[in-house]
A and B are shown apart, each in its own frame.
Chain A
Amino acid sequence: MPPSRAALPAVLLLVLPLVTAACGSEGSGSGTGAAKPRTATTLTHAVEQEPDCWDPHVSAQDVTSFLQRPVYDSLVYQTPDGSLEPWLATRWQVSPDGKEYTFTLREDVVFHDGSKLDAAAVKANFDHITDPKTNSQYAAGLLGPYKGIKVSGPYEVKIEFERPYVPFLQAASTTALGIAAPASLAAGSDKLCAAGDGSVGSGPFKSGPYVRGQERTYLKNPAYAWAPKSAGHAGPPRLDSLKVRFITEDATRIGALTSGQVDTASAIPANQLTLVKDNPKLEVLDKQVPGAVNTFYLNTKSPLFSDRRVRQAFQRAIDIDTIVKSVFQGLYPRAWSVLSPTTPASYDPTLEGTWPPDPALAAKLLDEAGWTGRDAEGYRTKDGKRLTVVAPIYGKPSTFSQAVQGDLKKSGIYLQLAASTDAIEVGSRLDEGRYDVVELSWARGDGDILSHFFFSDQTSKNSGHNFAQVADPEMDQWLTAAQTAQDPAERAANYAKAQRWAIDQAAVVPTYIDTQNVGFSTRVHDLRLGISAHPEFYAAWVEAP
């Protein structure tokens, strides 16, 4: 199951923004052994979704970031282990107060339209992202407390923030902040957004023909000579062209892969995984998506959940291991922290196993909290009122949510999956705090995602995602310390405190870790999953049949 589908339950999950660069590696497809790279080849990839809008500065869709990565380079490159290295910027410097970033650019970079990368080009990109007319759904948000950009030399820009903002470097590595040729930005949204062939960047592949609803072709950029050091290859890509086909129907996509009509395919569903793995001509790579895992955020301000005992009862009543195993058939592992283990330098592994399911404890806590009665259906009651946990859901409740609902019933808790297709109704529920729990996941290759969920000013009304309604001075202090600390270890220590606090306070119930996979023919070599868990095609090549 693709994360985008699994994530549907919450209003914000119509799209799964992924603030990670689709670069880096997670193991190589198969050994480069005896076969010699054949450069005159095309690789065909089947993807499960087609972007609505192709402009990564506008779109919040994960798939847009993934499919534009071959076209757009970024200032910074994030390796699979999360460290950041030069890409379009050869180096950068942070001012002592942490509010200003100075980037020195490469001088040899040429966009696909022949224009050169310089400081003015970078400024044009940041201006485009922050222009209200762009209607940026995501990239502008990534800039956080952005103040402005200044050209300080032909190949040097200074980016200023209102306050120290360490997560910016990681943000700068994403496709959402990818650098496009300035002329293409001026071409208007119908070129940039609607027509994928209007994208002009400096990446290893150029936009080729595009047929909406069918396929997009990418052509090799023979001039490419500025790959980041850890990209696994240097110079122009090995493939002459790359073709991405939009095959939304699972059965068709997997059939196309097993019958060799495509070389690689994204999002192999759990029920087809064994079939693909058992096929001697196919292999599967998978990777856990970094960022915030699928989590229940408990509204610590709601009448029901303002009682910590009730929150804890909810947290310990769910048999997460069993449900995750049965719903995802081993595809996704269960989670112990809000953060995914692949989130660079911020995951706290000491949380693992610390809060196993304990229905007896849950029962004891509920008794203490006064939920001692039972109604005809076996749910607990207090003063004649049923123990009802309201969970607003945008669209249809997922199988997983329904399984949790069934499991909670055993402990006498009624999880009310309040499904609605009215975005505004769900949105106002969230804004006004009329809910007990919200379930969602949010991918990002940086621990700063915690700030979006736990910083006191990140309320739903303020376009934040503090669904647990946490307003804790200590939490704010840890998150601010992490945002301003230059030392990764210090950041990680602060993020660890935040993760532990969220579990201890039962503000969250992390459930499972979204995992993305790609199935590919054994003829495909050097295919890698980037940090965002999407395949990267730059170094890939296909053996002749």
Chain B
Amino acid sequence: MGAVRLVAVRLVSAALVVWAAATCAFLVLQLIPGDPVYAIVGSDALVSEEQHEAIRQQYGLDEPLIVQYLAYLGRLATGRFGDSYQLQQPVATVLADQLWPTVQLALGATLLAPLLAVLVTVATSGRANWPRRVSAVVELVVVSTPSFWLGIMLLTIFSFRLGWLPVAETGDFASLILPTITLALPIAAVLTQVLREGLLGALEQPFVITARARGLPEPAVRYRHALRHAALPALTLAGWFTGTLLGGTVIVENVFARSGIGRVTLQAVGDRDLPVVQGVVALSAVVFVAASALVDVLYAVVDPRLRKRTGVQAA
């Protein structure tokens, strides 16, 4: 019963987040001045008044705002977003076509960033101070480097100079490497900072002394015990980052000339292709909600205290 309620609450709040994001997107786009018909036909078009009206009708732009809003929510609920102004295709088709390359990229970065963060953290949290210092400087540099520039640099070195990796090519794993690294590095750097902070704190806890006193080897102490304590704040952050990956792909996909949602988003914003923009907003809201739900589950995996039926609770 408890579990069902939990899931229900979760679902309702997820729906609320998506609804709020979609509503914001709708309102903000209404605030943009100008007649959307020109966004549809272009400003040079020779459009007669009747044609103008026909286009308004076709896209439902002649309805009162509240009707447009409700129709929009209705479409949203059924997973349709209307037709793109520029691409002359349903938005759902446009996004579905572009989803896979972006998912590949985002998934790669989601796996790579925590992996890098954990490795670097554990490697630099020993007794010696200097690896930590070096790492901290590198992290700072990576975090403060615009990913645009980072991507160009990686391309210049590994693709243009050394010729090891290509500028994106469809379905080719080699072409996924550089974009994934570009997307993952800044996230990994922040995660490392948070994770190290937590790990160093945890290593000073009495349970670490106990573990060491029991004769556990140092890596086991760090990986199995201390890291779990350090992981919770990093996990929260990672969940948030995953939600924002879509934003990151806008830059990365353009620098690496990859297809994907980010590429379409940039073009849609430039062309005022409002249905596509609304679709992307709704999609990122869903991704965000899904990511935070996943993080909640992971909390329980990482921290036994958060599980319902564990012995730990009783202790």
Complex Cα–Cα for A212 and B87 (A): 10
B97's closest neighbor in chain A, by CB? A212
| A256 part of interface (Cβ distance < 8 Å) | yes
The stretch of B5-13, B109-117, B185-193, B257-265 in contact with A is B257-265
| A255 part of interface (Cβ distance < 8 Å) | yes
Using known A-B contacts A214-B168, A248-B254, determine if residue A11 contacts B43 with beta carbons closer than 8 Å: yes
Using known A-B contacts A259-B160, A424-B35, determine if residue A214 contacts B43 with beta carbons closer than 8 Å: no
The stretch of B151-159, B211-219, B238-246 in contact with A is B151-159
Which residues of the partner chain B approach A60 to less than 8 Å between Cβ atoms?
42, 44-45
| B253 part of interface (Cβ distance < 8 Å) | yes
Which residues of the partner chain B approach A423 to less than 8 Å between Cβ atoms?
34, 38-39, 43
Which residues of the partner chain A approach B145 to less than 8 Å between Cβ atoms?
none
Q: Is the CB of B51 within 8 A of A213?
A: no
B168's closest neighbor in chain A, by CB? A214
| A138 part of interface (Cβ distance < 8 Å) | yes
Complex Cα–Cα for A190 and B83 (A): 10
A465's closest neighbor in chain B, by CB? B44
B44's closest neighbor in chain A, by CB? A60
Q: Is the CB of B35 within 8 A of A248?
A: no
| B46 part of interface (Cβ distance < 8 Å) | yes
Which residues of the partner chain B approach A140 to less than 8 Å between Cβ atoms?
46
Using known A-B contacts A52-B271, A249-B254, A255-B160, determine if residue A194 contacts B44 with beta carbons closer than 8 Å: no
Using known A-B contacts A135-B51, A423-B38, determine if residue A246 contacts B257 with beta carbons closer than 8 Å: yes
Q: Quote the shortest CB–CB distance from A203 to chain B (angstroms).
A: 22
Q: Is the CB of A252 within 8 A of B86?
A: no
Q: Which of B40-57 contact A (CB under 8 A)?
A: 40-48, 50-51, 54-55
Complex Cα–Cα for A185 and B211 (A): 75
Give how many A residues have a beta carbon under 8 Å from the other chain's beta carbons.
Answer: 44
Using known A-B contacts A53-B87, A259-B160, determine if residue A245 contacts B51 with beta carbons closer than 8 Å: no
| B163 part of interface (Cβ distance < 8 Å) | yes
Q: Is the CB of B256 within 8 A of A14?
A: no
Q: Is the CB of A252 within 8 A of B152?
A: yes
Using known A-B contacts A189-B88, A194-B88, determine if residue A135 contacts B260 with beta carbons closer than 8 Å: no
Using known A-B contacts A14-B42, A252-B167, determine if residue A52 contacts B35 with beta carbons closer than 8 Å: no
Complex Cα–Cα for A347 and B45 (A): 28
Contact with A12, one of B35, B40, B43, B160 (Cβ below 8 angstroms): B43
| B236 part of interface (Cβ distance < 8 Å) | no
Which residues of the partner chain A approach B39 to less than 8 Å between Cβ atoms?
423
Which residues of the partner chain B approach A190 to less than 8 Å between Cβ atoms?
88-89
| A193 part of interface (Cβ distance < 8 Å) | yes
Q: Is the CB of A427 within 8 A of B258?
A: no
Which residues of the partner chain A approach B38 to less than 8 Å between Cβ atoms?
423-424, 427
Q: Is the CB of B258 within 8 A of A214?
A: yes
Q: Which of A240-271 contact B (CB under 8 A)?
A: 245-249, 251-253, 255-256, 258-259, 261
Give how many B residues have a beta carbon under 8 Å from the other chain's beta carbons.
Answer: 51
Complex Cα–Cα for A253 and B156 (A): 11
| A17 part of interface (Cβ distance < 8 Å) | yes
Q: Is the CB of B33 within 8 A of A424?
A: yes
Which residues of the partner chain B approach A251 to less than 8 Å between Cβ atoms?
152, 155-156, 255
Q: Is the CB of A248 within 8 A of B43?
A: no
Q: Is the CB of B43 within 8 A of A213?
A: no
Most buried by B among A213, A247, A256: A213
Complex Cα–Cα for A431 and B40 (A): 20
| A456 part of interface (Cβ distance < 8 Å) | no
| A197 part of interface (Cβ distance < 8 Å) | no
Q: Which of A404-452 contact B (CB under 8 A)?
A: 422-425, 427
Q: Quote the shortest CB–CB distance from B254 to chain A (angstroms).
A: 6
Which residues of the partner chain A approach B88 to less than 8 Å between Cβ atoms?
53, 189-190, 193-194
| B108 part of interface (Cβ distance < 8 Å) | no
Q: Quote the shortest CB–CB distance from B146 to chain A (angstroms).
A: 13
Q: Is the CB of A425 within 8 A of B33?
A: yes
Q: Quote the shortest CB–CB distance from B211 to chain A (angstroms).
A: 50
| B125 part of interface (Cβ distance < 8 Å) | no
| A40 part of interface (Cβ distance < 8 Å) | no
Complex Cα–Cα for A17 and B89 (A): 23
Q: Quote the shortest CB–CB distance from B39 to chain A (angstroms).
A: 8
| A15 part of interface (Cβ distance < 8 Å) | yes
| A230 part of interface (Cβ distance < 8 Å) | no
Complex Cα–Cα for A255 and B152 (A): 9
Q: Is the CB of B97 within 8 A of A135?
A: no
Q: Is the CB of B264 within 8 A of A212?
A: yes
Per-position contact with A for B166-189: 1 when CB-CB < 8 Å, else 0? 111010000000000000000000
| A141 part of interface (Cβ distance < 8 Å) | yes
Complex Cα–Cα for A251 and B255 (A): 8
Which residues of the partner chain A approach B253 to less than 8 Å between Cβ atoms?
213
| A215 part of interface (Cβ distance < 8 Å) | yes
| A132 part of interface (Cβ distance < 8 Å) | yes
| A137 part of interface (Cβ distance < 8 Å) | yes
Per-position contact with A for B93-116: 1 when CB-CB < 8 Å, else 0? 010011001000000000000000
Per-position contact with A for B42-77: 1 when CB-CB < 8 Å, else 0? 111111101100110000000000000000000000
| A32 part of interface (Cβ distance < 8 Å) | no
Further contacts, 17 of them, CB under 8 A, given A189-B88, A261-B166 = A53-B87, A60-B45, A135-B45, A135-B47, A193-B87, A194-B88, A194-B89, A211-B259, A212-B98, A214-B168, A214-B259, A215-B170, A245-B257, A247-B167, A248-B254, A255-B160, A425-B33
A-B contact pairs, 12 of them (CB 8 A): A135-B40, A137-B45, A212-B263, A214-B258, A247-B167, A252-B155, A252-B257, A422-B32, A422-B33, A423-B34, A423-B38, A424-B35
